[in-house]
Structure formats: C-alpha cells, structure tokens
Chains A and B, each alone.
Chain A
C-alpha cells in the first residue's frame, strides 16, 4: 500500500502500484541511461543495461517499499554495467587496445565549456558546447576508480543522500563520503587545471 510519507510499507499490487512504478521509472530513466552510458561508452549497451535493471527491479523488488526502489535500482544497474564490462574484457581485450585515444583534444576545450554549459533550449553552438563539456566530464569520470565514479554520479547527479548511496553501492556511509570527496577533488583539479 502506498504511503503518504514516501512509502515505508510495501505497496499492494494495484493500479496505484503500477502508477507509482511508472512514475519512479520515468523519473530516473534518463539519468540512469547517462550513468550507464558514461561507464560503458555505448548507447545501446547502456540502454540494454537500463532495460534489464528496470525488469529486475519490477519483477524482484517491485513489492518492496517505494523508498527502497532508487538505491535498489542503482545497485542492480551497477551490477549490469559491471557484467557488460566483464563480458567485453573477456571477448575483446585486443579490440579495446586498438581504440584511438582521442581524449586529450577534448580535454583542452573542456573547462570553459563546463563553466558555460547552457541548460535551456539549445542552438547549434550551444549543443556543441554542451557535447564538448559532457565529453570532457565523461572522460574525466571514466578515469576515476569505479567506486569514486559511482559515488560522484549517485550523489551529485542522481541527488541521492549518503545513506541511499551506501545501499546502492553496498558499502558504509563513511566509504561513500570518502569516495565522493576524492572524486570531487580529482575531477576539479583535472577539469579546472586545464583552463589555467
């Protein structure tokens, strides 16, 4: 049954329950895609990971209290992302080595673009600016250790609090704080240092 306080009791199977799930999934799907896409660098793989995670959440955890959905979803998504990464490693180490390293050029332009990134309707030049900023940030995020990247994206981008992030990452709240602090420090130095 849905509760007014955001769901401290399990929701009954009902149309309200379906609507609640729909609202939840609609609310997170874009950010979930972006988080998976940053890690996987491939739209189709990211979309598959998000779809698998949605299915898993709905089938296995849909009856859990609504407040638990977000950390559970991101835990599932992280596992899916890691599965894809593992499969890639097994299948094609050689292919991965042959990928061109094009990040340096993007990094050169990144800092100003991040500072001036537009958030409203985009014209062509703004689009380029945003893409450039996103690419720089994505590259910097991919260079972080997994846990730091995860802590940064869940806290900063998804807006989860420390305890939710700890559930999603399967670690203590203290670890979340440490990973997040290190991620912010490294990213700031990397992205701002390039401008000066």
Chain B
C-alpha cells in the first residue's frame, strides 16, 4: 500500500520525538534514574510500615476505649473504685483473651452452666 501524506508525517514526527529523548541532558537522566529507584524502593517498604501500624493502632484504640469507659463509669466520690470500672476491666480482660472470649460466646454458656451445676452436685466425681 502506498504511504499517505499522513503516514509520512507520522514517521517524521516520531523520528523527531525519538531523537529528542535519545539526547536528553544528564541532569534530566539523573533525575529520572533517581525517581525510578525511589519508586522501586517504595514498593518494598510500602507494606511493612502499614502492617506494623495495624496492631499498634488497635492497641492504642483499646487503651483509649478503656480510659474512656473508666472515665464514664467513675463514681463521683474521689478515691473510691467504681463498680463499673471493675466490670469494664473484666470486659477488657475478656476481650484481650481470645480463649475466654470464645468461652463466653453464644449457646456455649448454657453448656458451661450445666457443667458447673453438675460439678456442684458432685455428678461424675
């Protein structure tokens, strides 16, 4: 197929653009090189800090929740240990102990109540 005027222009303009990037000055090439390395380094370091922040953030959130809960439940009398605070602390203990949390969950409670009753009655001993 015979090349059209558009084809010829496409080739000439591509040649100009290609030549212009073959002869970029050293400063530009150096900056491009640094930019590439910075980007590639970010690929390896990007995930690690984020993963470290998750547990740190959860711990901080839990601490804030505890402080706020104690503050809300504080008895007006100075120096006394409020009843609500001890309850909250028990809840925190429960939440922080995965095994205890599982034990406290759902229909299982009925089983543990029944087991305790059996034990108190001396069944199986």
By a beta-carbon cutoff of 8 Å, the part of chain A in contact with chain B is 13, 18, 21-22, 25-26, 29-31, 33-34, 43, 47, 50-51, 54-55, 57-59, 62, 114-115, 117-119, 122, 127, 130, 133-134, 137, 153, 156-157, 184-185, 187-188, 191-192
Contact = CB atoms under 8 A, between A and B. Distances in A.
Contacts of A127: 23
Chain A interface secondary structure, helix, strand, loop or mixed?
helix
Nearest to B5: A188
A31 B21 CA distance: 6
Interface of B: 5-6, 9-10, 12-24, 28-29, 31-32, 35-36, 38-40, 42-44, 46
A114 B43 contact: no
Given A22-B36, A51-B35, 19 more contacts: A18-B44, A21-B43, A22-B40, A25-B39, A30-B21, A34-B17, A47-B32, A51-B31, A54-B36, A62-B43, A119-B15, A130-B20, A130-B23, A133-B16, A134-B17, A137-B17, A156-B17, A157-B17, A187-B13
Chain B interface secondary structure, helix, strand, loop or mixed?
helix
15 contacts: A21-B39, A22-B36, A25-B40, A31-B17, A31-B21, A47-B28, A50-B32, A55-B39, A62-B43, A114-B12, A137-B13, A156-B10, A187-B13, A188-B9, A192-B9
Contacts of A184: 6, 9-10
A57 B40 CA distance: 10
Contacts of B13: 114, 137, 156, 187, 191
Contact of B19 (A13, A117, A191): A117
